[in-house]
Amino acid sequence: MAFFELIPEEQLPPEAKEYIEIVKKRARSDRAADTFYVLAKNPRLVKAWVQAYQELIPIPNRFGTAQGIAGMLIAHAKGCRVCFDTSRKFLVKLGFDDAALDNMCQAPAALPLAERERRFVEFTLRAARDPQGLKPGDFREMERAGFSKDEILEMIGVAAYWNLATTLASAVDAGLREE
Amino acid sequence: MAFFDLPTDEELSPEVRQTLEEYRRLQGREQVIPTWRAYGRSPKIVGARFTAWQNLHFQCRFPWEARNVAVMLIAHAKRCQGCFAGARFQLDKLGFDAATLDGMCANPEALPLKERDRLFVHYALKMATGSADLQPKDFREMAAHGFSKEEIQEIIAFAAYWTMNMVFTQSANAALADE
């Protein structure tokens, strides 16, 4: 028996329901990830998560598909099955095949992307995995590669968001697994 | 010269200025800290980060003292100097001396706190540093220690917030450092 239970759609507290509807709309799905239904008894947790999702991973966003690839690779690096599966579904909907995505996970340093997208993914992955390892020169290098300061701020926001999401989702997922 | 500059109050939108001021006030500081002001030109980041801080950290139901000890130890584990200094600032205000706090960092399993607070810190640290390693039995163990499901979700959300915030803080500190 799992430790956490899923709150049925019809029993969601109104405030949690409002935020879960946003997630469903973004995913163009009639169901959000199970994690949201577990946290729904505590609407302020759902609110904080969904607001971060909305503001840090906006739709549309200027990095397009690369945003989804960054999410998949961060989730892969952090071992978050829920975020990994969600990102994969999104990328498959966009036309990527599983073999190509598997290759990206195995060799994230050799992504078959345009230079600008590749740099976006690499910087974001690095900021998510090892922000302490960032050096002043890394920012100048991104600027020389053509990224504005606003874009670099956004990349940090993407990395930060995925740290929030992978921690929440992987922990709640462990509490949803059968013993 | 640093890559990021700190926007003055005049450069901030009224909304961002108000949010940063509210954050400063709730933190009991004289000035807005640089790792928050550095994002002042991005209302989305400031908004999402503040909402997360309010809902996942500030309103978290565990004692303020235990929360700040947890932040100090998470920051210590993740080598986030900014968050570490912020937690020490709060703990200093609560009357902890530096030697006691150094002792906590050196031996986080033997914290001089009430048992329930010590367990909160233990699990928050565990979730922030290895949420993907959690097992169903960890949740039964937490419940056996007297934590309700809602409280466990609060610990998860608290840990998740700090994994997010440390990306913002460490990235800002790197971009604010002189080259």
Asked, for residue A42, whether it belongs to a domain, the answer is yes
Average pLDDT, chain B: 97
Q: Are residues A23 and A51 in the same domain?
A: yes
Q: Is residue A22 located within the same domain as residue A104? A: no
Q: Are residues A90 and A165 in the same domain?
A: yes
User: Sign (positive/negative) of CA torsion A26, A160, B117, B109?
Assistant: positive
Cα torsion angle, B23, B160, B162, B1, sign = negative
In this predicted structure, the answer to whether residue A9 has a pLDDT above a threshold of 80 is: yes
Dist CA A24 CA A12 (whole Å): 14
Residue A145 placed within a domain: yes
> CA B12, CA B43: separation in Å to the nearest integer?
9
Residues A86 and A39 in one domain: no
- Check pLDDT > 80 for residue A179: no
What's the mean pLDDT in B61-67?
97
In terms of domains, do A52 and A69 share one?
Answer: no
* In a shared domain, residues A161 and A97: yes
Q: Are B136 and A2 in contact (CB under 8 A)?
A: yes
Residue A3 lies in a domain: no
Take residue B127 and report the two structure tokens written for it. Answer: 């979730």
pLDDT at residue B94 tops 80: yes
Of B3, B41, B51, the CB nearest to A139: B3
Q: Pick from A36, A56, A76: which residue ends a domain?
A: A56
My answer on whether A80 and A108 are in the same domain is: yes
- A17 located within any domain: yes
Interchain proximity A80–B131, CB inside 8 Å: yes
CATH of the domain at A106: 1.20.1290.10
For the domain made up of B64-174, the CATH class stated in words is mainly alpha
Which of B164, B168, B173 has the highest number of chain A CBs within 10 A, making it the mutation to test binding with A?
A: B164
Whether residue A163 is found in the same domain as residue A128: yes
Domain assignment present for A179: no
Domain ranges of chain B: 9-59, 64-174
d(CA B82, CA B173): 8
Whether residue A70 sits in one domain with residue A38: no
Share of chain A above pLDDT 70, in %: 100
Q: What pLDDT, in 10s, does the model give residues A33-45?
A: 999 999 999 999 9
Total domain count, chain A: 2
Query: How do residues B1-32 score in pLDDT, each as one tens digit?
Result: 899 999 999 999 999 999 999 999 999 999 99
* Average of per-residue pLDDT across B123-133: 97
Statement to judge: residues A157 and A91 lie in one domain: yes
pLDDT digit string, tens, across residues B24-47? 999 999 999 999 999 999 999 999
Q: Distance between CA B70 and CA B159 in Å, rounded? A: 9
Enclosing domain of residue A43: 9-56
**List of residues 6+ apart from B115 with CB closer than 8 A:** none
Q: How many residues does chain A have?
A: 179
Measured between CA atoms, the residue of chain B closest to residue A128 is B167
Residue contact B163–A47, C-beta within 8 A: no
pLDDT at B1: 86
CA distance A18 to A51: 12
Q: Are residues A25 and A48 in the same domain?
A: yes
* Neighbour-count burial for B74-86, b at 16+ CB within 10 Å, e otherwise: bbbbbebebbbeb
User: For testing the chain A interface, which of B163, B165, B166, B173 should be mutated: the one with the most A CBs within 10 Å?
Assistant: B163
Residues of A in contact with B138 (CB under 8 A): 174
State whether B174 and A131 contact (CB < 8 Å): yes
The answer as to whether A28 is a domain residue is yes
Smallest Cβ–Cβ distance between A168 and the set B157, B167, B177 belongs to B157
Instruction: For residue B76, give the chain A residue with the closest CA.
Output: A132
Judgement on whether residues A48 and A117 belong to the same structural domain of the protein? no
Note whether residue A2 is domain-resident.
no
Distance CA A164, CA A87 (A): 15
pLDDT digits (tens, 9 = 90+) for B130-147: 999 999 999 999 999 999
Q: What is the mean pLDDT of chain A?
A: 95
pLDDT (tens digit, 9 = 90+) per residue, A64-119?
899 999 999 999 999 999 999 999 998 999 999 999 999 999 999 889 999 999 99
Span B84-112, average pLDDT:
96
Q: Quick one: average pLDDT of A122-127?
A: 97
Residues B52, B56, B60, B62, CA torsion sign: negative
What distance in Å separates the CA atoms of residue A108 and residue A121, rounded to the nearest whole number?
A: 9
Which of A56, A76, A92 terminates a domain? The answer is A56
Q: Does residue B88 have a pLDDT over 80? A: yes
- Chain B residues lying within 8 Å of A48, measured CB to CB: 51-52, 54-56, 157, 161
Q: Write out pLDDT tens, residues A18-33.
A: 999 999 999 889 999 9
State whether ipTM is beyond 0.85. Answer: yes
